Structure 1
Amino acid sequence: MKKSVTVSVNEKKLSAIEMYLEQKNTTLAAELEKYVDQLYGKVVPQNVRDFIDMMSDRKPARKQKITAPAETEKLSEQ
């Protein structure tokens, strides 16, 4: 799941950033995503990153089918 972050930036500075990034065929969102990845690698300990990777790669657990009490009794009688 991704979350959004809102940052306040001076309008003229933002316009200049976007203009020069466009000349480099990139976007502010792309650059910020790269920076967040770098910051994540720098700040978050490796063992925590490994754990997060492991949890995100894992498929969600399947819900077990709940059997009705009568069915459970029939199974236990057999």
Structure 2
Amino acid sequence: MKKSVTVNVNEKKLSAIEMYLEQKNTTLAAELEKYVDQLYGKVVPQNVRDFIDMMSAKKPARKPKNLAPDESEKQSEQ
């Protein structure tokens, strides 16, 4: 899951950044994502990153669809 972050930037500075990034065939969003990844690697301890990677690799457990009546209900009806 990704979250959004809002940053206030001077309009003229933002316009200049976007113009020069376009000349380099990239976007502000792409550059910010790279920087966030670098910052994450620099600030978050390795063991925490490993744990987060391990938890993200796990598939969330899904509840099986129970189409048939529950076995306990069948036994209580007898």
Please, what TM-score do these two structures have when normalized by structure 2?
0.84
* Rounded Cα–Cα distance in structure 1 between residues aligned with 2:32 and 2:62: 36
Unpaired stretches in structure 2, ≥5 consecutive residues: none
Structure 1 portions without partners, runs of 5+: none
The Cα offsets for residues 13-41 of structure 1, whole Å up to 9 and x where unpaired, read as 00000000000000000000000000000
What percent of counterpart residues are identical? 84
After TM superposition, where is structure 1 displaced by more than 4 Å over at least 4 residues in a row? none
RMSD: 1.7
TM-score norm. by structure 1 comes to 0.84
**Aligned residue for 1:11?**
11
How far off is 1:63 after superposition?
Answer: 1.6
How big is the shift at 1:70? Answer: 2.1
